[in-house]
Amino acid sequence: ISHKSAKQKQRKEGEKMAMDYAKCAKEIFDTVGGRSNLVSAAHCATRLRLVTVDNSKIDMKKLENIDGVKGVFSNNGQLQLIIGTGTVNKVYDEFLKVSGMTAATKEEVKAAAAAKQPVFKRMIKALGDVFVPILPAIVASGLMMGLVEALGKAMPAFAGSDWYGILDLFANTAFTFLPILIAVSAARVFGGNIFLGAVIGMIMIHPNLINAWSVASMDAADIPVWHLFGFSIRQVGYQGHVIPVIIAVWIMCKLENWLHKHVPEMIDLFVTPLCTVLITGFLTIGLIGPVFSTAETYVLEFASWIITVGHGIGAMIMGAIYPLTVVCGIHHMYNVIEAGMLASDGLNIWMPIASAANFAQGAACLAVGLKARNYKTKSISIPSALSAALGITEPAIFGVNLRFMKPLVCGMAGGAVGALLGSIFHIGATSYGVTGIPGFLTTLDYSAQYAIMLAVSFAVSFALTWFTWKEDPEDAKVTVAKTDDAPAAEPTATEETAEEVTVDGTAKKLYAPIQGTIVPRNEIPDDTFAAGVLGDGVGIDPEEGVVVAPFDGEISSVTDTKHAIGITGPADMEVLIHVGVDTVNMKGDGFELLVEEGQKVKAGQKLMTFDIAKIKAAGYSPVAAVLLTNSDDYPEFKVVKTGKTKRLEEVFTV
C-alpha cells in the first residue's frame, strides 16, 4: 500500500511540475495565431473563452494536445478551452501577459463573438433580442384576443355586451400600442435611451395621425398631408408595424450616441434629446414610413394577383410567404383584399390561406416547445403555439420560429401545403379577421375540408420541425426546471443541524454538500460536466439553497460570480462544486459566498447559500455538479449513493 501511495504522490508531483501556467498560456497564444488573430479573451470557472478573427487558421488538434487543455470546442463564434477550476484563472492571467490583451467580461466576449456573425444572422438576433422581453405582453394579449373573438363569433349576444367591450379592450391593447413596446425594447437593445425610444414609438401612432388600419378604406384624396421640405408627407400612423419602428429606433440610437460624444457636456442634457427626437421624427414620418408604405402597396397588389394564379399554385406561394409579411407588419392590410372579395361574391378565399399559414407556424412552434430542453424556450413556445392556433402568430413567429429560423421555414412549408389544399377544396369564409380554430365559425359550409386543411398544415409543419430542428447545445444545457417553482422552503430544525452530524471529515470519502436528489454524472445538464472532462462525480438537484463542506479541507478557489467553489481534502482529493448550469451569467445575483480562497474548513461548515427560485427564474437549471477533478488518480473511485440525499450523507469514496 505504501508503495502505491508513493507512486501516486510521485505522479501528482510530476503533474504539478509539468503544469507550467505560463508555458500553457504561451502555447495557446501561439497555436491560435498570436495577437493578430485574437479579438478578446475571458474565462469562467472552468474554461478559457476566446474570440478569434479566423478559427480556420487554428490547428484544433494541436490546441487539444497542449498540456493543461482538457478539451476544445467552438460555439456561437467563441473558442472555448476547457482547463479546469483553480487552474483556468492562473492560465488566463498568464495569457493576458503574453498576449498583451486586457481582461474582458464573459458578456464582452459574447458581444465580440456576435459581431463576427454574418449580417443576416446579426439582424435575426437583433429581432429576437427586441421581441423576447415583450413576449409576455403579446402572448397574453394574443391568447386573450383569440378567445374573445371566438366567443364573440360563437355567441352574437356576447359580442354586443359590455363584457365583450372591456375584454376586447384588454386583449388588443398590446397590439394597438405595439410600436411603443417595440420601440422601448429596441432602444434597450441598440444602446439608446428607452424613453426617447418610447417617444419615437408614440409619434408613429399618435392619435392626430390617421389609424393605419383605416387608411385602406379611404380615398387617397381624402388623406391629409403635410408639405415640408418640398415633399408631401401623408398624415398616416403605423399601427401594427414592426420593421419601420425598429429601423427608426436604430437610427435614433446611432444619432443619440453620436451626439453624446460630440455635444459639450454642459449642454448635452437638453441638446442631445431635442436633436435626437426632432431629426429621428422627421426621418421616420418623412422617409422611413412612406418608403415602407410604398413597399406595402406593391406587396398587397402582388398578393391580390397571385392567389388567383395557377390553379392553387399562387395560393401555395402565399401560404408559404405569409409569415414573412407578418414579420414586416403588413399582414393587417390584407383585410383590404378580404373586404373586396366579400363585396364582389360574398366569399373570402384569402382566409384559408392565412389560416393554414398561421396554424403551420403554431405547429412548428409547438414542436420546438416539446423537443426543447431549455426552460425559457419551452415556456415561451407552448403558449405561443396555442396563441397561433387561435390566429395570433406574432408570439410564435417573433419569439420562437424566426429566432431559430428552421422552424419558420418548416412552418412555411406546412402553410404552403395547407393553402394548396384550401384552394383545391374551394374553401371560403363569410367574414374576415378570424383564422385558426375560431375560423370554423366563418367556414360552416366547409367544416370538414377546413379541418383537413388545418390538420395537414399542422402535420407537415410539426413533422418537418421535429426531424430537422436541433437545439443548440448551449441552449440545451439550461434544462426544464422542476414543476415546483416555489422558492425553497426554509430548512427545518433537522436540516439546520445537518452540519452537526458526526462524520469523519478526514476519511477518503466525500459527503453530500447539498440536500436534494443525486443525478448521475452523465445526466448533468452540461456537456462538459456530463462527459467527465473535468472529472468524475455526481450532480445534485437541490431542495435547499445551502452548500456545506463535503470533508475537512481547504478552499482552493472561488469564482467572482460566487457560483462555484474548489476545495481540496483528504488523500489530496480536489473537488469542484458548481451550482447550476451557466449560472456564471447571473453575475453573483442570488449567491452568497461564506468562505474565501485559502480558508481551512470542516466537514459540514457552510460554504455558500443560493436562491433556487432566482436561478429558475433566470432560465437556468439549478442542478449542482459535484466533481472530483483529479478522479483519474483514484482507480477505486466509487459512487455509493443515489436518489434522495441529505447533507453529509456519504456520496462517493476513493
Identify the pLDDT of residue 113: 56
All cell numbers assigned to 399? 419569439
- State the cell numbers at 429: 369564409
pLDDT digit string (tens) for 2-61?
444 444 444 444 444 446 888 999 999 999 988 888 888 887 767 788 888 887 778 888
Q: Range with the lowest mean pLDDT among 347-356, 481-490, 505-514? A: 481-490
Query: Look-up: residue for cell 429596441?
Result: 186
Q: Which residue has the higher pLDDT, 629 or 516?
A: 516
Q: Please give the pLDDT value at position 489.
A: 37
Distances (CA, A) of 368 to 120, 385, 403, 472: 22, 10, 11, 12
**Residue 424 CA: distances (Å) to CA of 418, 436, 437:** 10, 18, 20
For residue 438, CA distances in Å to 146, 433, 566 come to 8, 10, 57
Q: Check residue 29 and give its pLDDT.
A: 92
The string of pLDDT tens digits covering residues 163-181 is 999 998 988 888 788 889 8
In this predicted structure, which of 39-43, 255-259, 466-470 has the lowest mean pLDDT?
39-43
Query: Please, which residues have CB within 8 angstroms of residue 114's CB and are 6 or more apart in sequence?
Result: 76, 77, 122, 125
β-partners of residue 236 are 210
Distance, in Å, from the CA atom of 609 to the CA atom of 593, rounded to the nearest integer, reads: 7
Q: Hey, what long-range contacts does 309-316 have (CB within 8 A, 24 or more apart)? A: 311/423, 312/419, 312/420, 312/423, 312/424, 313/420, 315/349, 315/352, 315/353, 315/419, 315/420, 315/422, 315/423, 316/416, 316/417, 316/419, 316/420, 316/423
Instruction: Write out the three cell numbers for 632.
Output: 483519474
Element (H, E) at 536: strand 536-542
Question: Could you tell me where the DSSP H helices lie in 116-264?
Answer: 119-131, 135-154, 156-159, 162-176, 178-190, 194-204, 212-215, 243-262
State residue 495's pLDDT score. 37
Is 623 or 476 the better-scoring residue by pLDDT? Answer: 623
Q: Is pLDDT above 70 for 77?
A: no
- CA distances, 313 to each of 310, 351, 410 (Å): 5, 16, 18
**Please, which pLDDT band fits residue 450 given cuts at 50, 70 and 90?**
very high
Condensed to tens digits (0 to 9), the pLDDT of residues 318-355 reads 899 888 877 765 665 565 566 556 655 667 788 899 99
Predicted local distance difference test score (pLDDT) of residue 198: 94
* Confidence category of residue 1, pLDDT binned at 50, 70, 90: very low
Report the C-alpha gap between 226 and 239 in whole angstroms: 19
Cell numbers standing for residue 605: 461548515
In angstroms, the CA 179 to CA 520 distance is 48
Greater confidence (309 vs 161) lies with 161
Q: Output the nine-digit C-alpha cell for 51.
A: 474570440
> Mean pLDDT across the stretch 121-129?
67
Average pLDDT value over all residues in the chain: 81
The HSE-up count of residue 296 (CA atoms within 13 Å, CB side) is 28
Instruction: Give the Cα separation of 289 and 239 in Å (integer).
Output: 11
Cell of 391: 390566429
Active site residue 44: yes
Integer Cα distance of 286 and 76 in angstroms: 39
Point out the least confidently predicted range of 68-72, 307-311, 403-407, 469-473.
307-311
Is 627 or 444 the better-scoring residue by pLDDT?
627
CA angle 358, 364, 367 (to 5 degrees): 140
What's the mean pLDDT in 107-131? 63
Among 15, 17, 19, 24, which residue's Cα sits nearest to residue 94? 24
Cell numbers at 72, concatenated: 476544445
Residue tagged active-site, from 24, 43, 44, 253: 44
Q: What is the separation of C-alpha 497 from the centre of its chain, rounded to a whole number of angstroms?
A: 40
Residue 484 has pLDDT above 50, yes or no: no
* Greater model confidence, 395 or 15: 395
Give the pLDDT score at 99.
Answer: 87
Render pLDDT for 85-115 as a digit per residue (tens, 0 to 9): 768 888 888 899 888 887 655 555 555 555 5
Q: H or E segment at 62? A: helix 60-64
Which residues are CB-neighbours of 199 under 8 A, at least 6 positions away?
A: 277
HSE of 32, CA atoms in CB hemisphere, 13 A? 30
Whether residue 228 has pLDDT greater than 70: yes
- With a cut of 80, say whether residue 471 has pLDDT above it: yes
DSSP 635: T
- Measured CA to CA, the distance from residue 542 to residue 235 in angstroms comes to 59
pLDDT band at 607 (very low <50, low <70, confident <90, very high): very high
The band of 299, judged by pLDDT with boundaries at 50, 70 and 90, is: low
Q: Which of 331, 332, 563, 578 is catalytic?
A: 578
Q: Range with the lowest mean pLDDT among 81-85, 136-140, 198-202, 203-207?
A: 136-140
Q: Which of 17-21, 33-37, 283-287, 637-641 has the lowest mean pLDDT?
A: 17-21
Q: Which DSSP symbol is given to 32?
A: T
Rounded CA separation 171/144 (Å): 5
CA distance 216 to 210: 11
Q: How far apart are CA 434 and CA 439, in angstroms?
A: 6
**CA-CA distances (angstroms) from residue 149 to 141, 164, 241, 349?**
12, 9, 21, 20
Residues 251 and 285: their CA atoms lie apart, in Å, by: 13
Q: Tell me which of 146 and 7 has the higher pLDDT.
A: 146
Q: pTM of the full predicted structure?
A: 0.48
pLDDT tens sequence across 587-604: 889 999 999 888 999 999
Mean local confidence (pLDDT), 617-636: 86
The C-alpha R_g of the chain, in whole angstroms, comes to: 30
Top-confidence residue, 458 or 298: 458
Whether the CB-CB separation of 624 and 639 falls below 8 Å is answered with: no
Calculate ∠ Cα 88-90-96, nearest 5°: 100
Cα 411 to Cα 458: distance, rounded to the nearest angstrom:
8
Calpha distance 281→291 (Å, rounded): 15
Which has more pLDDT, 460 or 107? Answer: 460
Confidence of residue 538 (pLDDT cuts 50, 70, 90): very high
Which ranges of 538-600 does DSSP label H, i.e. alpha helix?
none
Q: Is the pLDDT of residue 244 over 60?
A: yes
Nearest to 81 by CA among 91, 70, 93: 70
Check pLDDT > 60 for residue 130: yes
In the residue annotation, 253 being an active-site residue is answered as no
Do 315 and 275 touch, CB atoms closer than 8 A? no
Q: What is the pLDDT confidence band of residue 539, given thresholds at 50, 70 and 90?
A: very high
CA distance 78 to 52: 8
Backbone dihedral region of 97: left (phi > 0), alpha (psi from -120 to 50 degrees) or beta? alpha
Regarding predicted confidence, which is higher, 303 or 178? 178
